[in-house]
Amino acid sequence: MNAVSAADVIGLRVDQLPGELIAEVLNVHPRNGFVDAVLPALQHQAVRKPQSTIAGLFRTVSFEKLMRGCPLDSR
């Protein structure tokens, strides 16, 4: 997962971005239902391809928990 995707999906390093920038992006691109829409597709991919990067993330770092705890969803 690249840095931009990680910021969007799990909130990685968003604390290093200016709050005004985050607010502007979320205003234009709200995250309404993002996790509930994307998580099932990622889980399906992890089951379909158990050796994939996303499958490894689900196995090793509680990826679902990270997605559900994304700080962008609380803004």
pLDDT in tens, 12-30: 999 999 999 999 999 999 9
What's the one-letter identity of residue 21? L
What's the one-letter identity of residue 42? L
Query: CA dist 28 to 2, 3, 32, 61, Å?
Result: 22, 21, 12, 30
Number of domains in the chain: 1
DSSP secondary structure code for residue 14 in this structure: G
Q: What is the pLDDT of residues 18-66, one digit of tens each?
A: 999 999 999 999 999 999 999 999 999 999 999 999 999 999 999 999 9
The whole domain housing 14 covers 3-74
What's the whole-model pTM score?
0.84
